Chain A
Amino acid sequence: MLRLPPFSFLRARDVAEAAGLLAEHGDQAMLVAGGTDLVPKMKRGQLTPTLLVGVGHLAELGHVSASDRGVEIGAGVTLARVAADARLGAAYPGYVQAAASVSSPALRNAGTIGGNLCVDTRCNYYDMSFEWRQALGFCMKKDGDVCRVAPASTYCRAIASSDTAPVAIALGATVVLVGPGGQRRELAAADLYQDDGRCYLTKQPGEVVESLRLPPPGGWRSAYVKVRRRHAIDFPLGGAAVALATTGPIIEACRIVLTAVGPRPLDVSAAAEPLVGRPLAEVLGGDVGLLAEVAAAAVKPAKPLDNADLHYVWRKQMTRRAVEQAIRQAARQPAPHGAPAATFGADAAGGAKRG
């Protein structure tokens, strides 16, 4: 069988210590919570840490709390817990849809929302064993210096494969990062990512994602539609997160973020411009031309390459359809009502206690 290479494991006492260990050991150290992506990648030699810093047990990463500023979800909260949280589902339907679509039930029980935000970019030239990659010639993401899917590319074209990140971005979420000295900084979720599959996260090597903060849901409907071959397990081949704000029957704002079409989640909200100021009924009632126009514009900047399952042209076509579906789904949701954050807060605290 494929063996896990030897490594050291340190169980961090708190997040600051975890950050300190990451800062101290640099490239050699990685965090582990669920380990669902990390462990197989260590077996294949894609990720080669000699030190794993365990954070899955930290209570400070396991909270779901609400206030008038919105909801904060600890990075160590499992995807299964988010997927099963009815209150989160009512307030942030798109986010919960995304969490519920990650992998399989067993892996959602172990995998965390922090892990999914930071999940490694994927590429079928990279997600291979050491021997396979060596046989082909290593790529720039690991051990080599060229991009195998786009040899002329100056940056890595591995694909952003988080389901939850595009929804977090569409909802205007932020992430809280903790540095080695315990210092915190808050960063827009959109700014956590950059357009290079190698170093796809902007966080400093010594920083730990402590939590995700979702702003008050007030006014925002949301939906996530994922493209993949098998709905029981597969990573996204494309996907669209949509957040839609309305005043009465009129669309006030619409954000669209794509996943799995490039190295970072792709914010294509500009494409939604034609929807602003239009009545919801037009979207729901079947102004097919309008939706099609928005969806076509949304996927225009997407450049999927032949480094994932199925044909890349099909992936782009399906992502366009996912945009349409996500807008329709969001538009169909009940109108968000007043002071949702306060209402949610009381309930969510109870939920967090039970967890």
Chain B
Amino acid sequence: MTAVDTPVVPWTGVVGRPLPRVEAAAKVTGAIAYADDLQLPGMLFCKLLRSPHPHARVVSVDTTAARAMRGVVAVLTGHDLPTKYGIMPTCEDEQALEHEKVRFVGDPVAAVAAVDEETALAACRAIQVEYQPLAAVESIEDALAPPDGEPLHDYAGPGNVHRLAALEFGDVEAGFARADHVREDVFFFEGNTHLPMEQHSATAQASDGQVTLWSSTQNPHYVHRALAKVLGLPMGSVRVVAAPLGGGFGGKCDPFSHEIAVCKLALVTGRPVKCTLTREEVFYTHRGRHPTLMWVRTGVDREGHILAMHFRSVLDGGAYGSYGPASMLYTGALQPTTYRIPAYRFEGARVFTSKAPCGPKRGHGTPQPRFALEVHLDKIAEELGIDPVTLRRRNYVEPFTRTVNWLRVTSCGLQQITDRVLDASGYARRRRRLGHGMGFAVSSYMCGAGLSIYWNTLPHSQCVVTAGRGGVTVFCGATDIGQGSDSMLATVAAEELGLQPGAIRLVTGDTGLTPVDLGSYSSRVTFMAGNAAREAAAKLRQLLVEAVAEAEGRSPEQVQVRDARIGSLGFEEAVALAEERFGTLATHGSYTPPAGIGGRYKGAGVGPSPAYSYSAAVVELDADPVTGEIDVHKVWLAHDIGRAINELAVRGQVEGGVCMGLGEALMEAQAYRHGLVKQPSMLDYKSLTFLEMPDVETILVETVDPEGPYGAKEVGQGPLLPVIPAVVSAVHDALGVWVDEVPVTPDKVLRALEARARGRDARYGPKSFPVVPYPPLVKVAPPDAAAPTL
């Protein structure tokens, strides 16, 4: 059951309608061509040889035997691709193929192109690599200790520390001094991976020094940049086409070794080259959720009003930088977007370990602190004897305010989503009995990062709309990763032009044909590409209206655009008329986030967004006091969507987010043993099956954001966030024990129960937080000293 609040503005077009996705038929019939479906004449197949060591010097690589094999066309090593790259300009620490040292089991060292995959694999096995093993760095504790031998990288530091931050907004010590109650907690969030159904695949073709890459990527623009840099080609000689994606979730956001290798191999051999990763290789490619250790201390008054908060995190980053500096800052950025925290201190660290690199996964750096924060507030509420919902409501941020860390909040439906999710779930009226519990939590997420990954003056999204005898085409760099961005673009253009979404042709995610959109990450596409498309389509509409108005001798205001008609003319007639009047019909639109939505301190680039979505979850479950097993019966999820451009697609994203959140809460873990990924298969990496997936009741609340397209905000990432703490809270409701470590597996639940039975703290979780060499605090004055005081 889904309820939608009555929209403020009545819509007669397609926005707001629960229409099927534009690519739905092609997907369900198997007609859609994913990256691995691409077959080109004379195509070669590439395999990567990967490191068997978690940390080692590469002494030598002998490819003689591999090159001599029948069917082998080319072999590359790191010497062929020596240029370092990385998604963030501050940590370009990757090489497509490592020739000096390897930093995790699975780090690529050589690439083979051969007539088939079997030959390429055999050739990889024939390559002789001499390694000099170095000490592995297996944990956060290892990374914080003085390095045993050389650190993983020769930049950053000290030792294996990658990045540190220490920020203070307002006077935290004064806040604690005034507090009636102060509580500290320690939490751990195990790392996990995206597990897209589609393994990454890339195919490159080269001719005359120009190279085209078709890849399962979320961010063709960033891949384009990296390829030009590493291949030493002008950007105009490189074209990246994002193939339809079988799931991304953040795992296809970085430029990857296999993408660079196939391009170089295509340039070297003159033949198309494809590389499709195995499922095991996807676990090495990773860029998943950072394992994160957290410590939080909060001071409140008797009524539970937050007076000060101090939050510390350490992220296990794995072997490379990836999005790491941003991931780390995100663990501290969004706490103040749900709760008014008048004084806030954040200390964060990211360390290097000899594991597959971590990066952005759905919720990027915020599910870990959200889990910690919400459970921590539950514990405070319990100690104060205040209902946990009441305590939260007393601290909710108000719409159109600014947080202590300078984030501009616009539309904010926290109170409404709380009302709705409580009403639907009956949380307040729940019957308490052993083994049955309900948990509540809220969260917020960004509608696109306020800043690009690298500094530039480009608009964040650009669209071109053309109309002619061939119909209407939208050109946009945005990439549909399964989240529905194609449908969104088609719907926005159709709405402006009085058409149905199916009438809009789309050219997307192609750096050779489409203007830049920064990519499908940070939940930015609906907000940014949607606004760009709306502007472009509205301009085209204006041309059509003007032409028709002129021909009919009416004013433009009198020309109605709807149902494939412009005034009295059919749409095609109107296009012909406008083309005659104005020449080629091509309009453009772009979107750049407004200035001043964030602060001006170092680290202020992470967190600002033109708007924030809000989610509230109630989870109902049984937790077995004998086995520790958890059976989730139902999840209610209320989401402040701003406005649902397509209610059906929004519901799909909510359900997908709930599913992924439950997987992370209950079972998912990318764990390591002896330096190797412990579960590199879909059987052994546990995620939910349909049997574990409970009923989800989605409640959409429309707050109509003033800057979102038609008032829309994001839904791709936010709804995952409150699910995890709500599960932990429900387990506590059911059994009276806290599991302060995610995932909440049955063995941990039993250990918490055993701890209680032995008279110890009724919890399972990390005992302490390590000593981290945080730098001196950067003190930032809150935006308006008068506003957020109590």
Contacts and interface: CB of A to CB of B under 8 A. Distances in A.
Partners in one complex: yes
B745 interface: yes
Interface stretch (B92-100, B155-163, B610-618, B685-693): B685-693
Contacts of A313: 747
A234 B667 CA distance: 13
Contacts of B117: 1, 3
A230 interface: yes
A313 B280 CA distance: 28
B276 A1 contact: yes
A1 B747 contact: no
Interface residue tally on B, bucketed by range: 35 or more
Contact of B278 (A1, A6, A134, A232): A1
Interface string A116-157: 000000001001110110111000000000000000000000
Contacts of B199: 1
B750 A317 contact: yes
B684 A127 contact: yes
Interface stretch (B402-410, B448-456, B672-680): B672-680
Contact of B52 (A2, A135, A231, A318): A135
B279 interface: yes
Contact of A134 (B52, B680, B690, B745): B52
A310 B676 contact: no
Contacts of A255: none
Nearest to A235: B683
A261 to B, nearest CB: 16
B788 interface: no
B627 interface: yes
A217 B326 CA distance: 66
Most chain-B CB neighbours within 10 Å: which of A131, A230, A310? A131
Nearest to A312: B747
Interface string B648-692: 000000000000000000010000001011111101101011111
A314 interface: yes
A191 interface: no
B129 to A, nearest CB: 12
Interface in A208-233: 229-233
A136 B50 contact: no
Interface residues of A, number: 28
B747 A314 contact: yes
B747 A132 contact: no
B686 A124 contact: no
A134 B50 CA distance: 12
B118 interface: yes
Contact of B105 (A1, A135, A232, A314): A135
B628 interface: yes
B280 A232 contact: no
A273 interface: no
Contacts of A124: 678-679, 684
Contact of B746 (A6, A129, A134, A310): A310
Main secondary structure, interface of A, reads: loop
Contacts of A311: 747
Contacts of A127: 681, 684
A309 B684 contact: yes
B217 to A, nearest CB: 19
A230 B747 contact: no
A309 B686 contact: yes
B121 interface: yes
A313 B689 CA distance: 25
A108 interface: no
B195 to A, nearest CB: 14
Contacts of B667: 229-230
A232 B746 CA distance: 17
A161 to B, nearest CB: 12
A135 B667 CA distance: 26
A129 B674 CA distance: 16
Interface in A1-19: 1-3, 5-6
B224 interface: no
B370 interface: no
A321 B627 contact: yes
B686 A229 contact: yes
A36 to B, nearest CB: 12
Contacts of A132: 280, 676-677, 680
B626 interface: yes
Contacts of B278: 1-2, 129
A227 B53 CA distance: 35
A129 B121 CA distance: 13
A3 B747 contact: no
A233 B692 CA distance: 11
A44 to B, nearest CB: 9
A124 B671 CA distance: 13
Interface string A61-76: 0000000000000000
A314 B278 CA distance: 32
Contact of A3 (B121, B745, B746): B121
Contact of A231 (B276, B681, B691): B691
A127 B280 CA distance: 12
A70 B691 CA distance: 36
Most chain-B CB neighbours within 10 Å: which of A129, A233, A314, A321? A314
Given A1-B117, A136-B676, A310-B747, A131 B52 contact: yes
B747 A135 contact: no
Interface in A38-69: none
B692 A230 contact: yes
Interface in B676-714: 676-681, 683-684, 686, 688-692
Contacts of B53: 135
Given A131-B280, A132-B676, A314-B746, 8 more contacts: A1-B199, A5-B118, A128-B680, A136-B674, A231-B691, A310-B745, A310-B746, A310-B747
The 5 tightest CB contacts between A and B, nearest first, are A135-B52, A314-B747, A311-B747, A232-B689, A232-B691
18 contacts: A1-B117, A1-B276, A3-B118, A124-B678, A127-B684, A129-B680, A131-B50, A131-B52, A135-B52, A229-B686, A230-B686, A233-B683, A234-B683, A309-B684, A310-B747, A314-B628, A318-B627, A321-B626
